């Protein structure tokens, strides 16, 4: 790699500790094939499960452009965690089975079922931690609010909020299911919200991302999110880490917006809110992706320590 391709000096020299590639696996959940990218380590500290946003796939969490350190999966595995990026219901191998995921409860069951089957026979260490981005947080929060959510180690919620940004009209192509020139690719307005300011992303970062057609249910889920979020958040009983970029343009950012979301998790034993510096909506794809991922993994490690030794 050349210096202009890798960006910050030292990334190319540090590749050796994040070279392990994920394996694509497909498991059956009540007749529905669910796919994921997996890096399993022999004796994990815990398991990290990533839930990608809309119109992309699990590959969001294994971005290796401009360097392998951009990948949350690879960095997590290098630090001792089994790492899984799940193709959410309606994506990946389950895209042709949308009749089986018509309700939020169906989707929660599919996601939990996929995690159970992917981890069958494997050590979980201290337990399972969920990390979600954008629309993936809608499924994640429902999973955490479910009775099974009490067994989770904790959550990372990112790239979503309660109050839309002043430029939230950019979301309309996704919300309305509007047709774009290439199916599954965000329209020009939404592209503006997701990928600007461009200086925060490596050159051609948007071209390196694999897009996918959003499932039918996603439009209605986005439309109902603001009304559903408070009630779901109040049912979450595990630690929560919430991140929004300081240049987020889909949802509001800033201290007031962070406090507004953090205050929703009234039953959580610990809530940490973070405004990631020099980051826009796609937190895992920008120049600060490694900084962001290390914050998430630090929080995960804190959850592991509490699980193992308790808290004061």
Summarised one tens digit per residue, pLDDT across range 187-214 is: 566 777 888 899 999 998 888 888 899 9
Cβ atoms of residues 53 and 40 within 8 Å: no
Looking at the predicted structure, is the pLDDT value of residue 5 above 70?
no
Tell me the C-alpha distance between 265 and 132, whole Å.
Answer: 16
Residue 260 in tokens? 């507004």
Q: Measured between alpha carbons, how far is 37 from 276 in angstroms, rounded to an integer?
A: 26
Q: Print the domain residue range for 179.
A: 3-309
Read off the CATH number of the domain in which 293 is found.
3.40.50.1820
Q: Give the three-state DSSP class for 74.
A: helix
Model confidence pLDDT, tens digit, residues 29-57: 999 999 999 999 999 999 999 999 999 99
pLDDT digits (tens, 9 = 90+) for 90-132: 999 999 999 999 999 999 999 999 999 999 999 999 999 999 9
Choose between 2 and 6: higher pLDDT: 6
Percent of the chain with pLDDT over 70: 87
* Counted domains in the chain: 1
Q: In what order do the strands lie in the sheet with 82-86?
A: 23-29, 32-39, 82-86, 47-51, 128-133, 154-158, 240-245, 271-276
Inform me whether the pLDDT recorded for 15 exceeds 80: no
């Amino acid at each position: 790699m050349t210096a202009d391709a890798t960006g910050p000096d030292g990334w190319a020299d540090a590749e050796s500790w994040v070279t392990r590639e994920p394996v694509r696996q497909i498991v059956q959940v009540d007749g529905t094939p669910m796919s994921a990218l997996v890096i399993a380590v022999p004796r994990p500290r815990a398991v990290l499960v990533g839930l990608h946003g809309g119109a992309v796939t699990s590959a969001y969490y294994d971005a290796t452009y401009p360097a392998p350190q951009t990948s949350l999966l690879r960095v997590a595995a290098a630090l001792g965690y089994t790492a899984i990026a799940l193709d959410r219901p309606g994506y990946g191998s389950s895209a042709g089975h949308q009749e089986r995921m018509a309700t939020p409860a169906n989707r929660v069951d599919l996601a939990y079922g996929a995690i159970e089957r992917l981890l069958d026979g494997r050590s979980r260490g201290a337990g399972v931690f969920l990390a979600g981005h954008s629309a993936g947080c809608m499924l994640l929060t429902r999973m955490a609010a479910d009775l099974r959510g009490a067994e989770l180690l904790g959550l990372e919620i990112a790239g979503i909020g309660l109050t839309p940004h002043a430029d939230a009209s950019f979301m309309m192509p996704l919300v309305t299911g509007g047709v774009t020139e290439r199916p599954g690719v965000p329209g020009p307005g939404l592209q503006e919200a997701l990928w600007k300011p461009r200086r925060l992303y490596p050159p051609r970062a948007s071209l390196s991302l694999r897009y996918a057609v959003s499932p039918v249910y996603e439009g209605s889920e986005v439309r109902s999110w603001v009304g559903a979020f408070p009630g779901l958040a109040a049912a979450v009983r595990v630690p929560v880490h919430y991140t929004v970029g300081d240049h987020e343009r889909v949802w509001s950012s800033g201290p007031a917006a962070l406090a507004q979301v953090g205050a929703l998790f009234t039953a959580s034993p610990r809530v940490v809110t973070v405004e990631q510096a020099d980051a826009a909506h796609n937190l895992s794809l920008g120049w600060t992706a490694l900084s962001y991922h290390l914050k998430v993994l630090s929080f995960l490690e804190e959850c592991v320590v509490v699980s193992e030794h308790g808290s004061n």
